[in-house]
Amino acid sequence: MTTRPGAGKPVRPVDAAGLILLRGRRDAPEVLLGRRHSKTAFLPDIYVVPGGRLDPEDLLPSGFPELIHPAVASNLAAGCRRPPIAFLRAALRETHEETGLLVGRPAASAGGAGVWGAYGAAGLMPEFAGLDFVLRAITPRESPRRYNTRFFLADGSQAAGNLKGDGELLDLGWRTIGDLDKLNIVDVTWELIRTAMRRWQDRAPIGVDAPKLLIYRKNNMTLTSLHRPGRSRRA
């Protein structure tokens, strides 16, 4: 098992958030993916959705209304001390930084600093209520870098701007199902894509389907439903 130098236990996972954007026909959607730089320490040359670790700024209000679907908020709050909205802020912030896109709807509010100022300048407000919680994935215990990532699904038709990003994701583009087999994609991203596309094709309302929990046991991927006890969710 790989551990920190001098440590006797696995690295503690860092909270993170990611966003999968789907657009187009329900029976033939496109997904936005980019390739991580070859020199990055985590998943080099791998195609992923935009995302990253929670930053201190994600704990601060955006300056916009921050409504979340109750089921999404409930599942995010289960077993976590972070406020649920922090993960949605992080997902939208990382998406803007890595792709240049803003996911929102027209609004007159100005917003706050950083990415939220960009929303205000574009005449948009972030669509927090339009994000569905799809998957929580925890990096294997053996990994020297570990993340506890909450992945969300949003309608790509609401994404405004031109694909550019900060250089962390290369070869950004909207890919069809037929394109995916040509790309280097890890099992977590494959499961995220499959789960998100099922919801997209079923036109599942936000919060109806329980998010999935993906963990590794002795390097074997295990997938279960993640929901709070007593809450009814569609399987």
Res. 202: pLDDT tops 50: yes
Number of domains forming the structure of the chain: 1
pLDDT tens-digit map of 167-178: 889 999 999 999
Residue 3 lies inside a defined structural domain of this protein: no
β-pair type (47-48, 28-36): antiparallel
235 falls in which pLDDT band (50, 70, 90)? very low
Q: Which helix (H) or strand (E) holds 194?
A: helix 187-202
| Predicted pLDDT at 227 | 61
d(CA 85, CA 235): 25
Are residues 153 and 196 in contact, defined by beta-carbon separation less than 8 angstroms?
yes
Q: Does some domain include residue 7? A: no
Q: Is residue 231 part of a domain?
A: no
- Asked whether residue 4 is domain-assigned, the answer is no
User: What was the pLDDT predicted at 165?
Assistant: 78
Residue 71 has pLDDT above 90, yes or no: yes
The answer to the question of residue 235 being in a domain is no
- pTM greater than 0.85 (yes/no): yes
* Residue pLDDT, tens place only, 75-103: 999 888 999 999 999 999 999 999 999 99
Per-residue pLDDT at 135: 96
Domain with 204 in it: what CATH number? 3.90.79.10
The answer to whether position 66 is within a domain reads: yes
- Domain membership of residue 118 (yes or no) is yes
Rounded distance, CA 98 to CA 197, Å? 22
In the predicted structure, residue 4 carries a pLDDT above the cut 80? no
Per the prediction, the chain carries an average pLDDT of 88
pLDDT in tens, 14-64: 999 999 999 998 888 999 999 998 777 677 889 999 999 999 999 999 999
Q: C-alpha dihedral over 166, 171, 172, 177, to 10 degrees?
A: -160
Residue 19 counted as domain residue: yes
What SS3 class is residue 90? helix
Residue 107 burial (CB < 10 Å; 0-12/13-18/19+)? Answer: middle
- At 233 the pLDDT is 41
Specify the amino acid at residue 177.
Answer: I
Domain that holds residue 136: 14-225
